[in-house]
Amino acid sequence: MVYRVLGLMSGSSLDGLDIAFTEFHENGGKWSYEILEADCYPYSTDWMQKLKNATILPAADYLLLHTEYGHYIGNQVKRFIEEKGLHYQVSLIASHGHTTFHMPSKKMTAQLGDGAAIAAETRLPVVTDLRAVDVALGGEGAPIVPIGEKLLFDNYDLFLNLGGIANISYKSEKYIAFDVCPANRVLNMLANKLGKEFDEDGKIAAAGKVNTGLLEKLNALDYYKLSFPKSLANEFGTEIVFPMILDSGAAIGDGLRTYVEHICYQLKKSISGLPLSQGGHRLLPTGGGALNHFLIRRLEEELLPLDIQISMPDVKLVNYKEAMIMAFIGILRWRQENNVLSSVTGAEKDSIGGALWNGQEA
């Protein structure tokens, strides 16, 4: 079977809407993929503020934003199809949406981006609300990308996503994955203080000095004492970690350097706690943070004693792996096959996640 699907992802770093048009092949239960077209449409300042402030809106205004953002996504999809010449080639859209409230302890998670609005704009079938069933079953609802890692990547056993939040996956007999710590969202917020969108190649961090006192306080946060499965809400980075760095009085460059050290420390600690098999391991890094050369160099140094080799993929996979896997999750939902792993999330059972909205005529 061949499927051509658009996967949509809006990460916590708020850099924009990632869109990946991917062709998937299934033959006897074996899957392969090719990202045919991909792009990131940056958010305007207005949309960035709307998404940032979504969680403080009154209920009616939040629901109106949910609808408005769904129509926005639909229009961005139409723009993508027009610009890439993909008319009549897309069979399905799978949209992650933009996470706002994530409270798995109360069996609730919410992502902005009304699927009905996307379907109405595009006239295509749409899958949304990918995390909701898992959370209802008592799971963390995150990470959900491991199903794609398990079925699409044969040559790696460790996966690192350095997005707004850093999460790690380990492909073993019992698949393990969890959120490690805030990453790009905090680094970008610090760079914003210097009038920059982000710290390109980690150059500012590389020139800074580690603030030992701040590093110790960051590493002592309660979340890092929890065992997996576990997941983080965006607010952990924006409302707890970021203010801690500012309140420390450290210069921004030193704050960036210290936070890079914090990320690497927590990743090494998390990976060290995995039931790794004997022998070398290959780690696939993706997400915007994988393009931070200083961060990757420091991580390589930290992981060297663990006999772990970081294997950098092509830039397209670095930037669009999550959007591509959202497309894959949408296919599995369409096929009525499990697409969220309970061994990762802690749910009662594996589940078929996603709400299906039919945008086509009957």
Cβ atoms within 10 Å of 349's Cβ, excluding its own: 11
The pLDDT of residue 172 = 82
Compute the distance between CA of residue 96 and CA of residue 218 in angstroms, rounded to an integer. 30
- Identify the pLDDT of residue 279: 75
Rounded to 5 degrees, what angle do the CA atoms 199, 9, 235 make?
60
Quote the pLDDT of residue 361: 60
Answer CATH for 157-310 from 3.90.400.10, 3.40.47.10, 3.30.420.40, 3.90.550.10: 3.30.420.40
Task: Please say whether the beta carbons of 202 and 247 come within 8 A.
Answer: no
Mean pLDDT by 10 residues, the chain (362 residues): 96 86 96 97 95 96 98 98 97 96 94 97 97 96 91 92 92 88 96 95 98 98 94 91 97 98 98 87 93 97 94 92 96 97 93 92 54
Question: Strands, E, within the chain: which ranges?
Answer: 2-10, 17-27, 30-41, 92-103, 108-112, 126-128, 158-162, 165-170, 176-182, 281-286, 308-310, 355-357
CA–CA dist 288, 319 (Å, integer):
6
Q: Is 340 helix (H, G, I), strand (E, B) or coil?
A: strand
- Rounded to 10 deg, the angle between the 45-52 and 59-84 helix axes is 140
Virtual torsion, Cα 100, 333, 161, 346, nearest 10 deg:
80
The token duo for 114 is 């009304």
Query: CA quadruple 330, 139, 178, 262: dihedral positive or negative?
Result: positive
Q: Do domains 2-146+320-357 and 157-310 have the same CATH topology?
A: yes
CATH of region 2-146+320-357: 3.30.420.40
Q: Could you report how far apart the first and last alpha carbons of the chain are, in Å?
A: 23
Where exactly are the structural domains of the chain?
2-146+320-357, 157-310
What does the block give as tokens for 326? 């959202």
Per-residue pLDDT, 270: 96
Q: 269, 276, 320: which is closest to 145 by C-alpha?
A: 320
253: its two tokens:
């460059």
Q: Write down the pLDDT at residue 158.
A: 95
* Whole-angstrom distance, CA of residue 201 vs CA of residue 74: 33
- For tokens 């073993």, the residue is 172
CA distances (Å), 66 to each of 117, 188, 233, 329, 356, in order?
9, 25, 19, 22, 17
Check residue 210 and give its pLDDT.
98
Q: What is the pLDDT of residue 308?
A: 94
At residue 155, the pLDDT reads 86
Q: Residue 32: what pLDDT?
A: 96
- Asked if 129 and 355 touch (Cβ cutoff 8 Å), the reply is yes
